[in-house]
Amino acid sequence: MDLLIVGAGAMGRWFGRTVDADLAFADADPERATAAADDLGGRAVPLDGDEQFDVVCLAVPMRLAAEAVDANAHRATDVMCDVTGSMAAPVAAMREHFDGHERLSLHPLFAPQNGPGNVAAVVDESGPLTDAILADLDSAGNHVFETTPEEHDRAMETVQAATHAAVLSFGLAADNVRDEFATPVSAALDELVASVSGGTPRVYADIQSSFGDGTDRVADAARALAMADPETFADLYRTVARSDTSKDGNEHETDKHDPVE
């Protein structure tokens, strides 16, 4: 299969490394396309070209996903897919601009250096080439699971926006203290702060813009904990503990709304 990857950044490169295809890269910054093609083997092509490919995969920033579908649909013959991290907007745009062809939305739930891992997938219209892409992801050691755009985007409020807000607000609030004072809990949180703050700021800002309801819930919960008298604090603490126990009982939902009754 020949594959055009639009957006030659971290995720575009990950997709190019993972899928067995003849690669071409296009990017708003042509030097990035050339660098990715040189590193991974393939060629750089103009962003505004008309050459067609079996598969076009969009790896542009999330806020540009829908317009990138519109701008690039004419360059795909068989498959459009995206790895932009949101699903409702690109899937709707692919239905509008690439009706009657194979369509796939993928979200690798890890930074490239932490893969392989879980990959959420909306197989909106399947076919031989989407099957081949999914098989390549699987062969690379990823766990691909099917979801819907609605379920995915809702889950991102918890696993991305709320998670990042909790970790980053700890990073903002924490004082510098001597390492000897670290507890197992504070040390684990320090590691998470380092991991989350080691990414690309604009990627994390886009996640907040898209899924920020999760952050509002974290802010409300932190405020409730800060205002609580000892009895109320203990109630809130038990609410979290109960929900964690129910996870051990094989309930995998992590999204608990309205923690404050």
Ligand X SMILES: NC(=O)c1ccc[n+]([C@@H]2O[C@H](COP(=O)([O-])OP(=O)(O)OC[C@H]3O[C@@H](n4cnc5c(N)ncnc54)[C@H](O)[C@@H]3O)[C@@H](O)[C@H]2O)c1
In the complex, the residues that contact ligand X under the rule CB under 6 A are 6-12, 27-29, 32, 47, 59-62, 64, 68, 83-85, 108, 111, 199-200, 203, 206
CB of residue 210 vs ligand X: minimum separation in angstroms?
9
9 vs 16 by CB, closer to ligand PRE: 9
Stretch that binds ligand PRE, among 25-33, 49-57, 105-113, 136-144 (CB under 6 A): 105-113
Q: Pattern of binders to ligand PRE over 1-40, x per CB under 6 A?
A: ----------------------------------------
The nearer residue to ligand PRE, 114 or 126, going by C-beta atoms, is: 114
User: ∠ at Cα 74 (69, 78), nearest 5°?
Assistant: 90
User: Angle at Cα 35 formed by Cα 30 and Cα 37, nearest 5°?
Assistant: 95
Q: Are strands 43-44 and 53-58 parallel, antiparallel or unpaired?
A: unpaired
Q: Tell me whether residue 93 or residue 165 sits nearer to ligand PRE (CB atom).
A: 165
Say how far apart CA 84 and CA 79 lie, in whole Å: 16
Binding site partner of 195, from ligand PRE, ligand X, none, Cβ cut-off 5-8 A by kind: ligand PRE
Task: Indicate whether 195 belongs to the interface with ligand PRE (CB under 6 A).
Answer: yes
CB 86 within 8 A of CB 74: no
Rounded distance between C-alpha atoms, residue 73 and residue 96, angstroms: 10
- Length of the chain in terms of residues written: 261
Q: Is there a contact between 11 and 206 (Cβ–Cβ < 8 Å)?
A: no
Binding piece for ligand PRE, criterion CB under 6 A, among 25-33, 48-56, 107-115, 174-182 = 107-115
Residue placing its CB nearer to ligand PRE in the complex, 32 or 152: 152
> How many whole angstroms separate alpha carbon 106 and alpha carbon 127?
15
Amino acid code (one letter) for 29: D
Minimum distance, C-beta of residue 250 to ligand X, in the bound complex (Å): 27
Q: In this structure, which amino acid lies at residue 69? A: V
Q: How far is the CB of 242 from ligand PRE (least distance, A)?
A: 26
- Closest of 227, 206, 252, 237 to residue 86, by C-alpha: 206
Residues contributing to the site for ligand PRE (CB under 6 A): 85, 109-111, 114, 160, 195, 203
